[in-house]
Amino acid sequence: MLSQTDLKIKNIGESTVNSPLNLSTRGDDGIADYIPEGSIVFYQNELIRGEERNLDLYFEKAGPRQKIFFEPPKTKAAIVTCGGLCPGLNNVIRSLVLELYHHYGVRDILGIKYGFKGLNPKSGYEPINLKPSNISEIHKLGGTILGSSRGKEEISLLVDTLYSLGVDILFCIGGDGTLKGAHALYEEITKRGYKKCIIGIPKTIDNDIHFVEKTFGFDTCIGITREILASAHAEAAGALNGIGLVKFMGRDSGFVAAHATLSSLEVNFALIPEVPFDLEGPNGLFMHLEDRLKQRRHAVVVVAEGAGQELIPEEEIEKDESGNIKHKDIGMFLSDSIKEHLNKKQMPFSLKYIDPSYYIRSVPANANDSIFCDQLARNAVHAGMAGKTDIVIGLWHGLFTHVPLPLATSSRKKISPESELWRNVIEATGQPFSMKSVKPEIDSN
């Protein structure tokens, strides 16, 4: 059970340096205010009338502090991007540099090449100096100018490098694996007694970081999925018994598939990891797909990459460089299985299978994500300069927060089948709540 101890934020020491931001400490003066220490964002925002609100759980609010830990002219920062590509990576890098350089006066900013590998001296990758002049146009590009990588590295070697480079604040931009690595760095740094800050910025198209409402790149992703689903629908509707089958990202969580479905409103079946389904049987996908084709002569099916893994014949388990289990290809499996089923039924059909994953993740950020990336980055700088550490910048009830790294990586955020989001998907697609042959009992009392 979650406790306030889990939400407590660590500081590397007392903040005694006056911030150079020249913000205000009082209202009604036309100047933006510092965030006072002790500012909180309540965990609970919804309750049934008559229930007592839980005021014992809250996040620390993010934002600029009047007193900071580091003296800006003496401070060295570094930025690293890890894991898969995601729209907005360059936006975050750019805003980190601009906030550090122009507003705090930090002149020594390093870009670590190719993820955590760039901190391993055995790799031979030298960091690059980042200044406003060499990052001014990067927000217009997809990908990351620093490069990225997956895979585990020897933490002690990475900390050795941070120490030899004189890095005071390391900004780690990445998903669950990156943030776990960032926490491991914090633990080694703490064990050695170093005064260095580790700040995470949550990056994953899957939007599955726990206690973070939204990760950057997600809005851009959904915008692209809408275009793809419009094409899939056109292909399906243009043929007799046409089927558009589209696979989206979502290793453990179906947020992309669900939001793509709601954005499109052309999807008839959405399949996600959190909601098991059958293919065969009186309530399986095949039966409902047949009914749809008989009634409307076309269908669009969306499947998240981690859905239906139990349906695919067992193979030897493989893992990627980060230690994640490599999922079997549910898209190709579904495509082949649907074709085989409809051929047995002697039903004419046309199936088009689309897997746009690599295209989606490498495009530049859209307007909403550009704004969001800038806000995340600047709040990360405020946290680092104030001596906060072992945190990731979160969003909760629309407000930016500090989330302890161990809490954010304790589990993956998932869609509850009983949530409003999934109900909305069911209402939009018209599919049943369950496509298992043995239906769950529903208590309507």
CATH no. for 4-215+365-408:
3.40.50.450
Catalytic residue chosen out of the listed positions 108, 206, 252, 278:
206
Q: Is the pLDDT of residue 127 over 80?
A: yes
H runs (alpha helix) in 56-131: 89-98
- 347 Cα distance to chain centroid: 41
User: Is 206 labeled as catalytic in the residue annotation?
Assistant: yes
Question: CATH topology of 4-215+365-408 equal to that of 221-360+417-429?
Answer: yes
Contact of 185 with 383, CB cutoff 8 Å: no
Q: What is the pLDDT of residues 296-347, one digit of tens each?
A: 999 999 999 999 999 998 765 566 565 556 678 999 999 999 999 999 999 9
| C-alpha distances out from residue 341 to 137, 247, 311, 337, 349, Å | 51, 19, 15, 6, 11
CATH no. for 221-360+417-429:
3.40.50.460
**Judging by beta carbons within 10 Å of its beta carbon (0-12, 13-18, 19+), is residue 346 exposed, middle or buried?**
exposed
Q: What is the pLDDT of residues 145-167, one digit of tens each?
A: 999 998 889 999 999 999 999 99
Packing angle, helices 89-98 and 367-385, rounded to 10? 40
**How much is the pTM?**
0.93
Contact of 437 with 36, CB cutoff 8 Å: no
Please measure the distance between the N-terminal and C-terminal CA atoms of the chain and give it in whole angstroms.
Answer: 28
* Stretch 397-404: mean pLDDT: 97
367: helix, strand or coil: helix
Distance CA 332, CA 326 (A): 15
The closest of 275, 267, 250, 262 to 222, measured between CA atoms, is 262
Domains of the chain, by residue range, sit at 4-215+365-408, 221-360+417-429
Strands 399-404 and 391-396: antiparallel
Strands 108-111 and 128-129: antiparallel
Q: Is the pLDDT of residue 442 over 70?
A: no
Q: Whole-number mean pLDDT of the chain?
A: 94
Q: What is the pLDDT of residues 348-395, one digit of tens each?
A: 999 999 999 889 999 999 999 999 999 999 999 999 999 999 999 999
- The amino acid present at 28, given as its one-letter code, is D
Distance CA 381, CA 181 (A): 19
Q: Is the pLDDT of residue 236 over 60?
A: yes
| C-alpha distances out from residue 256 to 135, 376, 417, Å | 30, 21, 15
* Stretch 1-28: mean pLDDT: 94
Burial 48-83 (b: 16+ CB within 10 A, else e): eeeeeeeeeebbbbbbbbbebbbebeebbbbbbbbb
Provide, rounded to the nearest whole percent, the portion of the chain with pLDDT above 90.
Answer: 88
